Amino acid sequence: MGTQLSFTFQNESLLITGQKNAETSVMDNPIDPFVEANKKFFVDYTGVQLSLDFTKPKEEECMNIKDVSEKLGINNKYTLLIFDDLTGFPVATQLTMLKVLSAPAAQYKEALHLTFRVKRHRRATEIIFFPNKTFIIWEGHIHIDTNMWGKASITTNGVIRKRSKYGKNDECFLIKDGMESTEKEPIIVYRPVGPIF
């Protein structure tokens, strides 16, 4: 026949042994081994009243769209760091602001409408930031590291393999690498609650 399991209580611990001929005895008050195991590994709270204090989680303070539009000035130079909508990886743009407007767009009551000229370009570009988009803005034209690649490795076949440091739309690109790549403090860090990058 197969292996028979026997449950033995010694020194308040549950032992499960796989002996072929286990000795068994009938007890006056049978003990349920699974209940005893739960008591051993989980504290028995029978008759104890627990008091739970629920606190409201602290939400991160974030600017609203109107505050952002009031902070940006016309004909001033800025550096914008955002996630590219197509690839999900960071893009830094040096620009000169032409127009800033807080107005409704799509299903949102307020959105940030920016009209700007990219450095060394003649034509104006317009972008609409919905209130769930994360972005960072610095004053002046500064260099921001947007290198998404980690260290290259060579396989045994001689193939060079590169992997990105983080996954796409990972805030580490903006917050960790982007902000730490320059000593200058950003004037706007827009990180809404529940963002879509």
Q: Are residues 77 and 170 located together in one domain of the fold? A: yes
Q: DSSP assignment, residue 85? A: T
Q: Are residues 140 and 43 located together in one domain of the fold? A: no
pLDDT tens digits for 112-152? 999 999 999 999 999 999 888 889 999 999 998 888 777 78
pLDDT tens digits for 20-45? 454 555 556 666 666 666 665 555 55
Q: Taking the model in full, what pTM does it have?
A: 0.62
Give yes or no for residue 3 having a pLDDT over 50. Answer: no
Q: Which domain holds residue 49?
A: 1-54
Q: Which pLDDT value is given to residue 98?
A: 96
CA-to-CA separations, 60 to 24, 131, 150, 189, in angstroms, rounded? 62, 15, 30, 12
Q: Compute how many other C-beta atoms are within 10 angstroms of the C-beta atom of residue 9.
A: 12
> Does 110 or 194 have the greater pLDDT score?
110
97 falls within a domain: yes
